[in-house]
Amino acid sequence: MNLVTYYEYCLSKKGVTEHFPFDEDTLVFKVGGKMFALSSLNQWEKGQPAVNLKCDPERAQELRAEYDAIQPGFHMSKIHWNTIKINTDVSDTLVKELIDYSYDLVFKSLTKKLQNEIIELEN
């Protein structure tokens, strides 16, 4: 997976916005004002891309046990976030599934009103 594919895939989801809230390097994708994916642009440029994605604690542990390239979230809650090293033992298909999963977790945590506003904006 390359940066453009990652970027376009995240932005293709309903109601997603991009931000740089921490510094000029860390690209953050949000839905409803809440983060679901973030990544260092410098790491992509260095050929060591990785993304932080939200995950429920049980599944996060299972993924870490199964894949060397999935670790506890770097600079994030180690319980609720995973860092996935891209272009390693984790397929692009699985990365996209994990992006979807992270997005869905965050979207479902939003108020029903906000969920409906996001759905309506996209229709």
Write out the chain's pLDDT in tens, 123 residues.
999 999 999 999 999 999 999 999 999 999 999 999 999 999 999 999 999 999 999 999 999 999 999 999 988 889 999 999 999 999 999 999 999 999 999 999 999 999 999 999 766
CATH number 3.10.20.30 is the correct assignment for the domain at 3-114: no
Cα separation, 108 vs 99, whole angstroms: 14
3 state DSSP class of 74 = coil
pLDDT at 122: 65
